[in-house]
């Protein structure tokens, strides 16, 4: 078992890749009562076109299969729902699907072993029938319609549609009522057998554990399976330019909401952590709570609270999203563009923001959930979470200045607005 130690947070990561290809990551937290397990597969809503290992033909499945599969995994042949079993054990269990991965998890203070039994049982034993697949279409169809009525979700998806011509990141993770109507049990089994192979999965566990002992417990619960070959994922060619700069929709909102998006491209593996940090620093300098622009917009009544500042990226895409509420989103957008165009990196501010972000990174190691989710998500992005703590101490103004020039390009910016109906 490999051990990676980080002196800044005094944490150790125990990592083991098993013969079947499954990666297990254990972060022991002595004396902490909470235990957290997250088991993820490198399979998200973007993966609808691929070549199955051992085959030569491309497989294309309807949009929304990854999310549909996540919903169906809890249903067992016995008629019992594993989520109910876990809840009865007093553990907090859940699952989620993103653009690039699907994860199953639970958090507990007691009953860890029976909960691990249940988690590892249902994730390894799918049960799909014509009847239960049909029934799920109705449930997910209602979820799709519900999300369609959420202005916060629509403004986000509209921003992605304004940025992306072809890449499936612009599509709803759930699919549409039309696309999910084509899902059947054969499609679900094919995607399960392709993407839920141990070689495409990682399990992260955080809590008061003895790593060697826990590793054995996990191994004991694994069914015998061989590692798959590499899955060839197929994404369309995505042009660098945006589709349209502005997109607007009317819905029932008390105040207009907006997303300012900046289309970027995924950095090389060795550059990802550094670039992520640089963008986080820049976003805070431009429109963070202590920024000059935010104070001006707040005083003028153009912003009521700090916008959320996000940098999202995975296979084949990367973008910045700034989400907020304003009586005049277009004015906020113009002022944002002006600030970016005239921006010079101030050393004092750069160091202050860098220190604050470093403090936030350190704080994430206080919580077993934050740690587990972070290591899982970063692993699928081919990064080690500890690297953020190292890179942020050595990142310099010149590099950040270069990222400002390369990424914050007004030709790659969009604004999505939802206005009052």
- Beta-carbon-side half-sphere exposure of residue 356 (alpha carbons within 13 Å): 14
Could you give the 3-state DSSP secondary structure of residue 172?
coil
Q: Exposed, middle or buried by CB within 10 Å (0-12, 13-18, 19+), for 5? A: exposed
Please tell me the chain's helix, strand, coil percentages from 3-state DSSP, rounded to the nearest 5. 45, 20, 35
Q: Exposed, middle or buried by CB within 10 Å (0-12, 13-18, 19+), for 68? A: buried
Q: Are 318 and 266 in contact (CB under 8 A)?
A: yes
Q: Are 263 and 407 in contact (CB under 8 A)?
A: no
Q: Is 70 a catalytic residue?
A: yes
Q: Exposed, middle or buried by CB within 10 Å (0-12, 13-18, 19+), for 25? A: buried
Which one is catalytic: 11, 58, 70, 238?
70
Q: How far is CA 169 from the centre of its chain?
A: 12
Q: Are 189 and 290 in contact (CB under 8 A)?
A: no
Give me 357's structure tokens: 């972000």
What are the Cα distances from residue 350, in Å, to 21, 292, 356, 358, 359? 42, 13, 10, 12, 14
- The dihedral sign for the CA sequence 189, 193, 198, 200: negative
Measure the CA–CA gap between 4 and 232, rounded to whole angstroms. Answer: 30
- Direct distance between the N- and C-terminal alpha carbons of the chain, in angstroms, rounded to an integer: 58
Give me 31's structure tokens: 């004396």
Measure the CA–CA gap between 291 and 306, rounded to whole angstroms. Answer: 10
Measure the CA–CA gap between 369 and 383, rounded to whole angstroms. Answer: 18
Residues that are catalytic: 70
């Amino acid at each position: 078992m490999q051990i990676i130690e980080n002196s800044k947070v005094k944490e150790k990561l125990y990592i083991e890749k098993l013969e079947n290809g499954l990666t297990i990551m254990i972060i022991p937290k002595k004396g902490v009562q909470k235990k957290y397990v997250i088991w993820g597969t490198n399979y998200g809503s973007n993966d609808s076109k691929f070549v199955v290992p051992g085959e030569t033909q491309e497989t294309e499945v309807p949009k929304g299969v990854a999310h549909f599969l996540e919903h169906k995994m809890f249903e067992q042949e016995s008629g019992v729902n594993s989520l109910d079993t876990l809840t009865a054990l007093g553990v907090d269990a859940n699952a989620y699907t993103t653009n690039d991965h699907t994860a199953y998890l639970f958090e507990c203070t007691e009953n860890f072993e029976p909960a691990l039994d249940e988690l590892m049982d249902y994730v390894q034993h799918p049960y799909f029938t014509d009847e239960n697949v049909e029934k799920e279409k109705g449930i997910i169809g209602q979820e799709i319609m519900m999300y369609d009525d959420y202005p916060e979700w629509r403004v986000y998806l509209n921003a992605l549609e304004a940025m992306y011509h072809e890449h499936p990141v612009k599509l709803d993770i759930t699919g549409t009522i039309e696309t999910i109507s084509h899902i059947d049990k054969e499609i679900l089994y094919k995607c399960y057998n392709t993407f839920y192979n141990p070689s495409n999965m990682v399990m992260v566990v955080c809590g008061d554990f003895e790593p060697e002992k826990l590793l054995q417990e996990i191994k004991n619960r694994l069914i015998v399976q061989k590692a798959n070959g590499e899955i060839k994922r197929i994404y369309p060619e995505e042009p660098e330019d945006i589709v349209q700069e502005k997109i607007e929709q009317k819905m029932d909102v008390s105040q207009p909401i907006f997303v300012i998006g900046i289309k970027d491209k995924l950095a090389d593996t060795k550059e990802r952590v550094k670039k992520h940090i640089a963008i986080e620093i820049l976003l805070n300098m431009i429109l963070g709570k202590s920024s000059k622009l935010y104070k001006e917009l707040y005083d003028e009544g153009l912003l009521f609270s700090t916008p959320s500042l996000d940098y999202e990226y995975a296979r084949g895409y990367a973008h910045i999203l700034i989400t907020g509420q304003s009586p005049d989103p277009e004015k906020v957008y113009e002022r944002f563009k002006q600030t970016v165009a005239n921006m010079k990196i101030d050393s004092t501010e750069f160091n202050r923001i860098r220190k604050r972000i470093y403090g936030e990174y350190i704080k994430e190691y206080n919580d077993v959930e934050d740690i587990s989710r972070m290591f899982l998500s970063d692993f699928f992005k081919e990064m080690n979470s500890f690297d953020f703590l190292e890179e942020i101490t050595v990142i310099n103004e010149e590099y950040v200045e270069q990222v400002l020039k390369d990424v914050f390009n007004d030709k790659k910016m969009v604004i999505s607005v939802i206005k009052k109906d």
